[in-house]
Structure 1
Amino acid sequence: MGADTKVVLVTGVSRDLGRRFARRLAAEPDVARVVGVDAVPPRGDIGDVSFVRADIRNPVIAKVIAKEDVDTVVHMSVIATPGTAGGRGTMKELNVIGTMQLLAACQKSESIRHLVVKSTSTVYGASSRDPAMFTEEMGPRREPSSGYAKDVAEIEGYVRGFARRRPDVRVTTLRLANVLGPHVLSPITSYFRLPVIPTVLGFDPRLQFVHETDLMSVLTHCVHTDVPGTFNVAGDGVMLLSQAVRRLRKPTVPLVRPAVGGVAAVLKSARMADFSPEQLGFLTFGRGIDTSRMRAELGFEPTFTTEQAFADFAASTGRSASPVERVFDGLASALPDPATTGAGHG
């Protein structure tokens, strides 16, 4: 495959991150053409991207791949929130059925050489029995029975099946920590944008983040890299939830866990935040992912640390930490890791 013949199909371009990534990729010198697909048109400028209105749940996606002679697919249309999809049933269809149809189309295609899948570290779950850091070989301590985490587990299973059936196709799966940045709309950014932050009494979970520009960079890197496999992706370091909230200079309301569920239901009905069981588990126990393979094998180095990614997001909310708060955060960072002492799990 010549450098000047790279034709990339990007799914999920009606969403901001998908649209921005497709537009960035179209400007790359060794990418001949970018085809963006989604069921609805993107809002905003897509630059030199060729938009095709197509629902990946429909077999018509195979015709798009064949007609455009696509050799690289970047799958970005896995949805984390039922509200934005039109309900949980539609969300599951978009995520699981959509991925199955896309993979079926890729399997039939003679031109496909590389598949990049934007997955999430949510696949590891969050529980009191978790290791300090999840490596790519590990799975959740408790298999998800519903929701977004179950969708992602099923999607990754189908992707592994596709990789076995088409060993000639390089398959790269990225398990991303929560993506943060001024332009990101997600369950975690909605949570941090609340005027008062509900927390789970007795728990101070560890958090890791990926800055939105590093998301764009790692996806672009994968398009140009011949390295298959599954990779955890996160900025260096971890933050405690208490540190993050202190940076935002917002009040918190510590609640027993059942009460947080009640508050979450109210916030969800008011469309202020979309709390899922995965979100509640994450805000109770946190999660750490090991990124050694990202550096050693994938050859990617994020520009933003976890702390820097959060700082940039915090600045976009109009609040930032005072010098005194930063001193306290420095002291907190010097304390023993709660994952190894057990303090982070109540």
Structure 2
Amino acid sequence: MRVLVSGMGGELGSRVAMLLEDEPWVGSLEGIGVDPPRRRLRRTVFHRIVAHEHDRIVSEITRFNPHLLVHIAVWEPHARAAPKAARELTDDAATSILGAAAECRALESIVVRSGLEVYGRPRHSVTRPNEDVVPTPTSEYGHTLLDIEQTATAIGDRIGVSVGTLRLASVLGPHVPSAIGRLLRMPSVPFSAVADPPFAVIHQHDAAEAFVAAAHRRLAQPLNIVAPGAITAYQAIRRGHRIPVPIVGPQWAIARAAAFLAGAPVADHVQEMLQRGRLGDNSRAAEVLGFAPTTTTSDVIDQLYRWPSVIHTPAREAVA
């Protein structure tokens, strides 16, 4: 199988490529990304292409003519880019990469990255939605992810290939850019004093394993990928020995401004998670993929606080 991975320059995309290299069913493996891969890859051919370079993307993809596309090129707001730039980069990548793949005669299957944010958290919504719940996003990031799902599905229907969607919980792991991860590592962290609802996350390694399993099984439906267990913001803050700052109503505007100045901007989907929670029923993933995440939400949070911060070392003195 010729496999193409978009977003290979990110931490998640690099790990997916590393795992795919060891799969016996994978033949040629190529990737596209804005940044170079974060890991040493042995037999992968990587193309460093900016998301808006449509002609170059189309040229490389149609030349490779993949059997399988794993589309991970998604920018979370305030993770690696500001919200407006994140939306533009994600839309440009989806339009160019998915559109180019649709012109490939050998294409058989598409697996795309999405997130639990597509379900939204409107009033009276299901607390732990499964894949049968109709997506009703209530954040900018949720709308972006739903647009990707709809674009991929439309292309799949038009050219007759299967489309699988992995709706990931917030991905955390060493060196993973994450808006919620950056916020939780601040010395003082805001939380909702009114509700403090639970949320779940997913470790980057489990997320990467899910993509490999979905690619191998030629996934043709949406699946939630969520770590076992749940945690509230206050519990997470206390586990990290941070200072909890209770927030009520209009105080969130002040908290967001303070977090922005401190270097941890709070995107609307992160505030939604802190105020309304974000869980997902992932029982179907085990049935369909034969895969279940092994790292619990609490363990992921504990690892978050064990990751070392930047350590500044003085320059060596010149020696005559």
- TM-score above 0.5: yes
* Residue 91 of structure 1: aligned partner: 86
* Residue 330 of structure 1: aligned partner: none
* Residue 146 of structure 2: aligned partner: 153
Matches within 5 A, 1:7-26: 7-26=2-21
Match of 2:259, as an amino acid? L
SS of match in other structure, 1:90: helix
Mapped partners of 1:295, 1:159: distance in 2:
23
Which of 76, 79, 87 aligns to 2:75? It is: 79
* Residue 25 of structure 2: aligned partner: 30
* Residue 68 of structure 1: aligned partner: 64
User: What fraction of aligned residue pairs are identical, expressed as a percent?
Assistant: 29
* Residue 299 of structure 2: aligned partner: 308
For the pair 1:122 / 2:113, whether they are aligned, the reply is no
Residue 128 (structure 1) shift:
4.2
The answer as to whether partners of 2:172 and 2:181 remain within 8 angstroms in 1 is yes
Match of 1:303, as an amino acid? T
SS of match in other structure, 2:250: helix
The answer as to whether partners of 2:77 and 2:87 remain within 8 angstroms in 1 is no
Mapped partners of 1:192, 1:210: distance in 2:
15
Residue 9 (structure 1) shift:
1.0
Residue 181 (structure 1) shift:
2.2
Structure 1 residue runs of 5 or longer lacking an equivalent are: 1-5, 319-346
Task: Let me know the Cα RMSD of the aligned residues.
Answer: 2.1
Which of 118, 121, 133 aligns to 1:138? It is: 133
Matches within 5 A, 1:282-321: 282-316=273-307
Which of 270, 273, 291 aligns to 1:279? It is: 270
Matches within 5 A, 1:329-344: none
SS of match in other structure, 1:257: coil
* Residue 162 of structure 1: aligned partner: 155
Mapped partners of 2:113, 2:291: distance in 1:
15
- 1:40-77 CA distance string (max 9 Å, x none): 43455333221112234414322212212311111111
* Residue 246 of structure 1: aligned partner: 238
The answer as to whether partners of 2:10 and 2:35 remain within 8 angstroms in 1 is no
The answer as to whether partners of 1:121 and 1:177 remain within 8 angstroms in 2 is yes
Match of 2:178, as an amino acid? S
Normalized per residue, which structure has more helix? Answer: 1
Mapped partners of 1:233, 1:121: distance in 2:
9
Mapped partners of 1:83, 1:37: distance in 2:
20
Segment of structure 1 superposing worse, 70-79 or 307-316: 307-316
Mapped partners of 1:29, 1:293: distance in 2:
26
The answer as to whether partners of 1:127 and 1:281 remain within 8 angstroms in 2 is no
The answer as to whether partners of 2:119 and 2:129 remain within 8 angstroms in 1 is yes
Mapped partners of 2:307, 2:33: distance in 1:
29
Match of 1:62, as an amino acid? V
Which of 143, 166, 169 aligns to 1:177? It is: 169
Mapped partners of 1:245, 1:47: distance in 2:
40
- 1:248-275 CA distance string (max 9 Å, x none): 12210102232222221232244x2131
Mapped partners of 1:233, 1:252: distance in 2:
29
Segment of structure 1 superposing worse, 174-183 or 33-42: 33-42
Query: Structure 1 residues 231, 273: closer, same or farther in 2, change over 3 A?
Result: same
* Residue 218 of structure 1: aligned partner: 210
Match of 2:16, as an amino acid? F
* Residue 338 of structure 1: aligned partner: none
SS of match in other structure, 1:263: helix
The answer as to whether partners of 1:23 and 1:48 remain within 8 angstroms in 2 is no
User: How many residue pairs are counted as aligned between the two chains?
Assistant: 308
- 1:283-321 CA distance string (max 9 Å, x none): 001022111211122321111222232233333369xxx
